[in-house]
Amino acid sequence: MVTARSQATAAFDEGASLVVSGVSRSFRAEDGSETRALANLSLAVAPGELVALVGPSGCGKSTLLRLIAGLDRADRGELSVAGEPITGPSASRGLMFQDPNLFPWLSVRRNIRFGPQARGVLSQHQPDVDAILRLVGLEEFADHYPHQLSGGMAQRAALARALVNHPKVLLLDEPLGALDQFTRMRMQDEVLRLWQARGTTMLLVTHDIDEALYMSDRIVLFSPRPGRIEREIIVELERPRHRNSSRFLQLRAEILDLLHLAGGEPAATRSRADGGEG
């Protein structure tokens, strides 16, 4: 359940704006063939907003996250956070994957403090390590190693490792996809609680429509490759949200229809026939 910002976390920085403008990215294979991952994509995310990216596999969602993280460069277009151009990796942009990617030879505490230690700022962030361990409920497991953790605890440790750097933008690339359904729902609430407490801008890639509806302020639907934004849906549901409410189920059906998964004539075709936008 989402809770109000607590005293313990009120001092944490809030998220920053994110702007993606006219971005395109292609990849060339060894045989010389070219794959267009993104085509003239533009997206604006407000500070502290949680936006879900939904679309078919291979439509460029993860490519976009890598561009925002600074791990790749666009062929064309511009990306910026808080008005500053993205030119490479930065601790202000955290990235969390489906696999926790914890170092197996390090304890939970040492995994979390690895980033600040590598950047030479551990002394400044040491109090944050302990605070974040408490925040994600792993203080009793601080000296455990990754193989001693459940899947949910490992993902919480990965989340803590991303948050300890005080990112302005947190990029989540299907971080809950490998978890069982029960653990996944609990982790959704955990991420929402931390989002509420920290105010971090979040971009969530997911194939789970229920997850997108349950968590996000806005859902961005991608077209098949090359990735373009087909539709944006503002999720006007009060928090905490109820997965079996009539409005939730109605929105779910509408999104499935837009993704052409509900059967019958695609929604985009009907929109054109009715004189709407294609």
Give the start-end residues of each E strand in the chain. 18-28, 34-45, 50-54, 76-81, 84-85, 93-96, 169-173, 201-205, 218-222, 229-234
Cα 22 to Cα 77, 78, 152, 159, 227: the distances in Å are 5, 7, 37, 30, 12
42 φ/ψ angles, rounded to the nearest 5 degrees: -130, 140
Does residue 135 fall inside a structural domain? no
Q: C-alpha angle 128/133/137, rounded to 5°?
A: 145
Model confidence pLDDT, tens digit, residues 94-105 = 999 888 899 999
| Three-state secondary structure call for residue 205 | strand
Model confidence pLDDT, tens digit, residues 153-168 = 998 899 889 888 889 9
What is the average per-residue pLDDT within 192-203?
A: 91
- pTM for the full model? 0.84
Residue 268 has pLDDT above 50, yes or no: no
Q: Report how far residue 142's alpha carbon sits from residue 7's, in angstroms, rounded to the nearest whole number.
A: 23
| Both tokens assigned to 190 | 């955990």
Does residue 116 fall inside a structural domain? no
**Model pLDDT, residue 107:** 96
**190, 136 in Cβ contact below 8 A?**
yes
Residue 272 has pLDDT above 50, yes or no: no
Does residue 118 fall inside a structural domain? no
**204, 52 in Cβ contact below 8 A?**
yes
Does residue 120 fall inside a structural domain? no
Does residue 217 fall inside a structural domain? yes
**121, 164 in Cβ contact below 8 A?**
no
Residue 109 has pLDDT above 90, yes or no: yes
Q: How many domains would you assign to the chain?
A: 1
| Both tokens assigned to 174 | 């299907």
Residue 1 has pLDDT above 90, yes or no: no
**Model pLDDT, residue 269:** 33
Sheet holding 76-81, edge to edge: 34-45, 18-28, 76-81, 84-85
Q: Report how far residue 61's alpha carbon sits from residue 193's, in angstroms, rounded to the nearest whole number.
A: 24
% of the chain surpassing 90 pLDDT: 58
Does residue 160 fall inside a structural domain? no
Q: Report how far residue 188's alpha carbon sits from residue 160's, in angstroms, rounded to the nearest whole number.
A: 14
Does residue 250 fall inside a structural domain? yes
Residue 271 has pLDDT above 80, yes or no: no
Does residue 108 fall inside a structural domain? no
Quote the domain boundaries for residue 230: 7-92+166-273
Find where tokens 């605890």 sit: 153
CATH of residue 38: 3.40.50.300
| Both tokens assigned to 269 | 């075709």
Of 42-51, 183-192, 260-269, give the lowest mean pLDDT range.
260-269
